[in-house]
A and B are shown apart, each in its own frame.
Chain A
Amino acid sequence: MKFGVLQFPGSCDEIDALAAARRVGEAELIWHRDRDLGGADAIIVPGGFSYGDYLRAGAIARFSPAMESVIAFAGEGGLVLGICNGFQVLCEAHLLPGALLPNANLRFTFRQVELDVVRPDTAFTAACVLGERLSIPAKHSWGRYYADQPTLRLMEDSAQVVLRYASGHNFNGSVEDIAGVRNEAGNVFGLMPHPEHAVDELTGGSADGLSIFESMRLAAEGAVGAGVGDA
């Protein structure tokens, strides 16, 4: 099982993601100018401020050579995880529905948040159980998830909402407390909180984030399906 972690100029959490992925498998960085994904079984688009987040968070990174390959990889059913800025990039690339808006408080906010696992039957949460609560740090200024009503209903029909903020933890004002979403095919997943920063009790406040990476390993090794049609 090999993860590829994209690295853009302005990425900040790519080394953290690399280290987290290495707890469950192999992992290598992929430079933004490379089209070759190095035979990775799963891709992580990490947090940070790719290309300075100029224009709009994730708007430039989405056009990078590496992302073009990731879009093709996702189209072939490859596993892709987007964390924070990575989630923004995946939305900009239309690999995931919806968009991320400025936090309701209009400030960068760092907080340990609790997330409810509402779909444990996905390639990204198979190591969790229904209703499990994950304690994971979040830190961002553009994290308010938004999608219009018709999109939300479609997402509901295909079980695309995987994680929701627990009561009292939706500080950014995301619609319907949505914290993590997957695409319709179930192989692309994005969330604003940082599971890679919750893989060790010592530094993460919890190790709950590890189950996201562990789930991806299980999925890549064929132990679970991508959750397509499980809805």
Chain B
Amino acid sequence: MPEAATLPSVDDALALGLTREEYELACVKQGRPPNQVELAMYSLLWSEHCAYKHSKRLLRTLPTEGAHVVMGPGENAGAVDVGGGLVCAFKVESHNHPSAVEPFQGAATGVGGILRDIFAIGARPIAVLDSLRFGELSGAGASDRVRYLLDGAVSGIGHYGNSIGVPTVGGEVYFEGPYEQNCLVNAMALGLARRERLVRSAAAGPGNVVVLFGASTGRDGIGGASVLASAELGHDGDGGEDRRPTVQVGDPFEEKKLLECSLELLDRELLVSLQDLGAAGLTSSASEMASKGEVGIDLDVARVPLREPGMEPFEIMVSESQERMLCVVEPHRLKDVMSVCEKWEVNGAAIGTVTDSGRMRVLRDGELVGDMPVTALVDECPLYDLFPQRPAEPLYPPAAATLAPEEPARATLLALLSSPNIASRRPLFEQYDAIVQSRTIRRPEQADAAVLALPDGSALAVSIDCNGRRVAADPYRGTVEAVLECAANLACVGAEPLGTTNNLNFGNPEKPHIAWQLSESVRGLGDACRSLQAPIVGGNVSLYNEGSTGPIYPTPVIGMVGRLPDARLAGRLGFARAGEQLAVVGPFAPSLAASELEKLHGAALPDGLPEIDIDAVAAAQDAVREAVRGGALSSAHDIAEGGLAVALAECCLAGGLGARVRLQASASPLVELFGEGPGGFLVSGSEQALRALAERTAVSPIGAVGGEALAIELAGEAGAVSLQATLEELSTAHSQGLKEFFS
């Protein structure tokens, strides 16, 4: 191999994000110092983003097997059996740092990336959900930058999803100070495939051809995985502008053609294996395909269609240009593959060969410019133990108070309804096409989970959730709650969980208090998923989410997919019939700890959340699910942020009907009205339906549906409270909260 004039030094390795020890290990693996191409490839594949080197040991503790699991972690996406010969592929991924630098393209390419993961395993994408976190929108600590990030990210998600014809059916957004400098943009996608049509990414068959197809390769996104995704964002008020060139630019039209082309190639059984190009571009795609197939790959970078002249081999190997796929093809099928590419006006180029050498070899016009053992690149990155330590001092300052504790109950309810974390999400989701592909049975704000029709008359349900403030207060229980809330959302539409995906968004795991958050959170994730029999089929980890003011709230975003037998009986959240009975269902023990109300009051985060009886909550979910899918309940809603009073208001608004409620308070009126905790549902139905439900779980009748207002009378030892608000007043508060930020 020709020697470069000067080999890169250890300082170059450090600049690329490797440690001194990792560089030395790479020298051992190579038997010599790596050259520029090799060092670039090691630095990416040994980055946190690609190698999960701080999280892999924890992730191995998660439950990944279950009755419905068809494809577990390790492939581009996980998949569960949904009956009728179909599987649902799904996964959530983050694009946090790119979005913090350039929100429109960062969010757009986040959607593009997760969609490629879905069709890379042969599934047609059928839905997108997103999970967003930003700093405070208003009040002390709010900045114009937060509005810019929010507006840009929402537009970017819409631009990509709408243009490619995949509906955005749900999502969540929270506004909290700790996300001010490090917003979170997580995107989840679902796809459908016939079970036998799923394809894996392992390269196989020495002599087979490696074909790159899709967009041409440019200098965009170079170093995204190592420089952006695996390090803290800049200090000293650096918004990351100097890193903007490391953000990729998306083209949904190109991806739409790529999607149709990929699915046609698979339909015609022309491919041995398929893999998308995401973080670390060709480097990670080719190496991972080779590793999974226990083969080698030779790639000639001179055959890669380029967007600009003069690109160096290492640039071609690490470029993160979007909308590209890599496949392995038997030589006699190459012509057919190229003609499908031509039909869809997609660039296809044979750029390499599968070998039996076990080596990843990079050539330029036949001349060897990089040569590495595949196992060293992919499987031998050092893994690190965490050194968790519970923090002695609170990590997060309290939010600025925006509501006086002595405000009357009515004003408190209206303030909560218009607060950014509870206000109607309509200004966001109206920017997304929620119905293309004609499967969407429940659109946003119609039910707790999105519901998508399946061909056999059954339906999929999907929910995404995480309340980072509660995880910050108690990483273990907060994470358990996030999983339980997803399952509760599914229960409200009548669906049982089939599988779970997650995106662990945390700060720098090399810091003991972040290591503690991460390990406690993963423990909670595992416990909750085991109890609900909702195994983890895939996911992603995003670490180093910190700015100069400290870490984000620990945010293990949970996505859960479930199924209900009869699509026509999918539950709704809105009250449906005047005169029907209202009840609180389940082992609901409200508390103000880490609640939205405490946030508005400016209270500090508590040290810990109340204990949870996971099995009792799961039993209540079972009961509600059965009642909904049997058609017994007219509405079902999970009691979450803002407590019972907010849940009542949301059901009134969704159904256009008021309610008269009488509560006997054992705790203080504020706790009764606005306290939060897992395990509670607000349902409406006939007296008979509620009596039947009471045989399975706790049911407390609280009033009846009807009228033009929500009227609550509360009596108890701590005092009597009565509040009344018309539907119009509730609607004004709820609908205006976020509207002004999108004007």
Chain A nearest Cβ from B494, distance in angstroms:
14
Q: Let me know if B435 and A111 touch, CB within 8 A.
A: no
Q: Does B431 contact A (CB under 8 A)?
A: yes
Residues of B with C-beta under 8 A to A202: 441, 453, 567-568
Q: Let me know if A109 and B431 touch, CB within 8 A.
A: yes
Residues of A with C-beta under 8 A to B439: 203
Cross-interface CB contact of B165 among A13, A107, A203, cutoff 8 Å: A13
Cross-interface CB contact of A13 among B155, B436, B441, cutoff 8 Å: B436
Q: Across the A-B interface, how many residue pairs have beta carbons closer than 8 Å?
A: 86
Residues of A with C-beta under 8 A to B6: none
* Residue on A nearest B155 in the bound complex, by CB: A107
Residues of B with C-beta under 8 A to A107: 155, 430-431, 742
Which of A48-56, A94-102, A150-158 forms contacts with chain B?
Answer: A48-56
Interface string of A107-118 (1 = CB under 8 A from B): 111110000000
Cα distance, A205 to B581, chains bound together (Å): 26
Q: Let me know if B435 and A110 touch, CB within 8 A.
A: yes
Chain B nearest Cβ from A50, distance in angstroms:
9
Interface of A is mostly: mixed
Chain B nearest Cβ from A115, distance in angstroms:
17
Q: Does A217 contact B (CB under 8 A)?
A: no
Cα distance, A51 to B251, chains bound together (Å): 12
Q: Let me know if B437 and A54 touch, CB within 8 A.
A: no
Residues of B with C-beta under 8 A to A207: none
Question: With A16-B436, A108-B431, A203-B440 given, is the CB distance from A9 to B163 under 8 Å?
Answer: no
Q: Let me know if A139 and B567 touch, CB within 8 A.
A: no
Cα distance, A49 to B443, chains bound together (Å): 22
Cα distance, A194 to B435, chains bound together (Å): 10
Q: Does B688 contact A (CB under 8 A)?
A: no
Cα distance, A10 to B431, chains bound together (Å): 19
* Residue on A nearest B159 in the bound complex, by CB: A108
Cross-interface CB contact of B435 among A51, A54, A197, cutoff 8 Å: A197
Question: With A10-B256, A16-B436 given, is the CB distance from A139 to B453 under 8 Å?
Answer: no
Cα distance, A180 to B443, chains bound together (Å): 25
Q: Let me know if B430 and A111 touch, CB within 8 A.
A: yes
Interface string of A136-156 (1 = CB under 8 A from B): 010101000000000000000
Cα distance, A16 to B344, chains bound together (Å): 20
Chain B nearest Cβ from A196, distance in angstroms:
8
Cα distance, A28 to B631, chains bound together (Å): 38
Candidate in A12, A13, A141 with the most chain B CB atoms within 10 angstroms: A12
Q: Let me know if A51 and B253 touch, CB within 8 A.
A: yes
Question: With A9-B345, A49-B253, A137-B435 given, is the CB distance from A108 to B162 under 8 Å?
Answer: yes
Q: Let me know if A139 and B435 touch, CB within 8 A.
A: yes
Residues of B with C-beta under 8 A to A15: 437-438
Residues in B155-210 with C-beta less than 8 Å from chain A: 155, 158-159, 162-165
Residues of B with C-beta under 8 A to A49: 163, 252-253, 256
Candidate in B256, B260, B429, B439 with the most chain A CB atoms within 10 angstroms: B256
Q: Let me know if A197 and B438 touch, CB within 8 A.
A: yes
Chain A nearest Cβ from B53, distance in angstroms:
39
Q: Let me know if A52 and B251 touch, CB within 8 A.
A: yes
Chain A nearest Cβ from B129, distance in angstroms:
15
Cα distance, A194 to B158, chains bound together (Å): 18
Interface string of B442-462 (1 = CB under 8 A from A): 010000000001000000000
Question: With A108-B158, A108-B162 given, is the CB distance from A12 to B436 under 8 Å?
Answer: yes
Q: Does B433 contact A (CB under 8 A)?
A: yes
Chain B nearest Cβ from A157, distance in angstroms:
36
Q: Let me know if A52 and B742 touch, CB within 8 A.
A: no
Residues of A with C-beta under 8 A to B345: 9
Chain B nearest Cβ from A55, distance in angstroms:
12
* Residue on A nearest B567 in the bound complex, by CB: A202
Q: Does B577 contact A (CB under 8 A)?
A: no
Cα distance, A111 to B253, chains bound together (Å): 24
Cα distance, A47 to B437, chains bound together (Å): 11
Residues of B with C-beta under 8 A to A111: 430
Q: Does B46 contact A (CB under 8 A)?
A: no
Cα distance, A107 to B158, chains bound together (Å): 10
Residues of A with C-beta under 8 A to B436: 12-13, 16, 47, 139, 197
* Residue on B nearest A52 in the bound complex, by CB: B253
Cα distance, A53 to B253, chains bound together (Å): 9
Chain B nearest Cβ from A94, distance in angstroms:
25
Q: Does B432 contact A (CB under 8 A)?
A: yes
- The 4 A-B pairs with the shortest beta carbon distances in the complex, nearest first, are A12-B165, A52-B253, A16-B438, A139-B433
Query: Could you list 12 further interchain pairs (A-B, Cβ under 8 angstroms) beyond the known A108-B432, A204-B438?
Result: A10-B253, A12-B433, A15-B438, A19-B438, A51-B253, A52-B256, A107-B155, A108-B431, A110-B432, A139-B433, A202-B441, A205-B443
